[in-house]
Amino acid sequence: MQTTRTDERAGAAPAVRPDVVPRPKARVATQRYRWEVGGPESVGLVGPCGLVWRLNFAAGLAKPHFHPLQTADGRCLTQVAPPDHRWHHGLWHSWKFIDRVNYWEEDRPGGRPEGVTRIAERRVLHTGDTGARVRLRLEYHPADRDDAVVMDDTIDLAIELPREDGSYRIGWEQTARARRPVVLDRTPPPGHPDGKDWGGYTGLSFRGDRFLTEVALRTSAGRRDAEAQRQPAKWAALTGTVDGRAAGLAMFDHPANPRHPTPWYQVLRRSRGGAPPSPFWYLNAALLQNEPLPLAPGQPLTLRYLLRVDNEPPADAALESEWAHFAASAPLGETNSRSRS
């Protein structure tokens, strides 16, 4: 296993917590994979079929993001900066409004958004046979006030190597801390004052590649496609076909998250016109769907998600089992701290 590190402080594996349900060890052929660490700009995993994923976090990016995010056999699932929404970035997180300042869209005059997401710190803590650990710190401020940071986020990521069935997992833990009292908000959805039919989204998002076809969505609540729109569920799974073969991405909402189970916002639009026609595949864990969330200094907001990428989309029973294990797992921030001690 070829491995490269930008932070040498990784240590022994964390102790197993007694309250965590153990998972049988998955078989991983580690010799088939190698790491690519692009200094302060990116980290990625390369396998027998080429690049599996790359996490981009260069200081000048609008948002840190995964792209390409591919199946283990090399088929791309993500799209970055499509013509219809240039502020969509593969697999990424973005707040919509912080105190009515827009941090989502980036098509303002001069190319700067109204609110800036600054990548203040990025560290690859570990790459090896157990996967990769990455920590990012983001700062948020109005575009015209670089010195007026209103909130920051610490994002801990744990990305495992693909298993023998081709599936792999990304653990995502994010903690927001306000510098002063703020309100996290979204465009109101239908049924709310000034509601829009496209309102309700913010947070962890996935934008599918335009070459995905036969895309469908299902959730733990038994809802599918349009009937799942804005409805709460423990997990949501988006499946489709790439290069004539099935693939899938599932998102899991941790039970400790505020407002669990989260509503899911999705767009499954098979054509947006143009030449060639451009489909619109989008999935979002819509934490703020039903109401804004005030955040005070000293009251951090922690969100935990799990993402699972599959060559062959699993059955609902397998996704239920995945969620149960995730629900019992230790927080990533806790295990990262142990690994550096």
Distance CA 332, CA 173 (A): 6
Of 28-42, 92-106, 224-238, the range with the lowest mean pLDDT is 28-42
pLDDT at 132 over 60: yes
pLDDT band at 7 (very low <50, low <70, confident <90, very high): very low
Sign of CA dihedral 72, 74, 75, 81: positive
pLDDT band at 50 (very low <50, low <70, confident <90, very high): very high
> ∠236-153-310 over CA atoms, to 5°?
30
Q: Please list, in sequence order, all residues whose beta carbon lies within 8 angstroms of the beta carbon of residue 60, skipping any fewer than 6 positions away.
A: none
Mean pLDDT of all residues belonging to the chain: 88
Distance CA 55, CA 73 (A): 18
pLDDT band at 27 (very low <50, low <70, confident <90, very high): low
Closest by CA position to 240, among listed 208, 264, 213: 213
Of 128-142, 146-160, 240-254, 322-336, the range with the lowest mean pLDDT is 322-336
179 in a structural domain: yes
Residues 103-129: tens digit of each pLDDT? 999 876 666 789 999 999 999 999 999
Q: How many domains does the chain have?
A: 1
Beta carbons of 237 and 217 less than 8 angstroms apart? yes
Distance CA 289, CA 200 (A): 4
Residues 267-314: tens digit of each pLDDT? 999 876 555 667 999 999 999 999 999 999 999 999 999 999 999 999
Beta carbons of 162 and 247 less than 8 angstroms apart? no
Distance CA 124, CA 245 (A): 33
Residues 53-65: tens digit of each pLDDT? 999 999 989 999 9
75 in a structural domain: no
Predicted TM-score (pTM) above 0.85: yes
Which one has a higher pLDDT value, 83 or 122? 122
Average pLDDT (23-48) is 80
Adjacent-strand bridge partners of 156: 135, 173
115 in a structural domain: yes
29 in a structural domain: no
82 in a structural domain: no
Beta carbons of 287 and 294 less than 8 angstroms apart? no
pLDDT at 201: 96
172 in a structural domain: yes
Starting at the earlier edge strand, list the strands of the sheet with 293-295. 101-102, 97-98, 182-185, 293-295
pLDDT at 336: 54
> What is the domain range of residue 212?
93-340
80 in a structural domain: no
Distance CA 241, CA 134 (A): 30
Six-digit token string for 154 = 């610490």
329 in a structural domain: yes
